[in-house]
Amino acid sequence: LAQNYGVAEMGKDFLEEELRSLKTSLYEVNPGGCTPLPWHIDKMYETILGMEDSLRREGKKVVVVIATDGVPTDERGWTSRTVDDQFVNALQRLQSLPVFIVVRLCTGEESIVS
């Protein structure tokens, strides 16, 4: 599930409502299926690239939280060295933008954690 959320974008008066909406959306997520992280990271890159000049001018960064319960896959759910390389390359490209990246592993499976 890829979502874009802004919190505190509309001012303090809407902060509680924005947080409530974010929490509701997060609690409704049921992980499963493939984990096409390279594809999602590329989409985030494209979105943030369009904001890059403004972000740099204002001295701001976008916080990107990647919460995953699985290893990176392609869109069909296959894992491979190529997909791993695409994942690393996508992360490195994203890091070239004004971002702060947080990766949350939502699993205790040793094969994924390592």
pLDDT for 6 beyond 80: no
Contacting residues for 34 by C-beta, under 8 A, at least 6 apart = 70, 73, 74, 75, 76, 77
Number of CB atoms found within 10 A of residue 87's CB: 19
- Shared domain for 47 and 15, answered yes or no, is no
The pTM assigned to this predicted structure is 0.76
- Shared domain for 15 and 70, answered yes or no, is no
Picking from 94, 104, 102, 84, the residue whose alpha carbon sits closest to that of residue 43 is 94
- Shared domain for 55 and 106, answered yes or no, is yes
- Give residue 13's pLDDT: 84
Q: 41-92, pLDDT tens digit by residue?
A: 999 999 999 999 999 999 999 999 888 887 888 888 888 999 999 999 999 9
Q: Which domain holds residue 55?
A: 34-113
- Shared domain for 66 and 96, answered yes or no, is yes
- Shared domain for 41 and 95, answered yes or no, is yes
- Shared domain for 64 and 102, answered yes or no, is yes
Q: Is 94 within 8 Å of 64 (Cβ atoms)?
A: yes
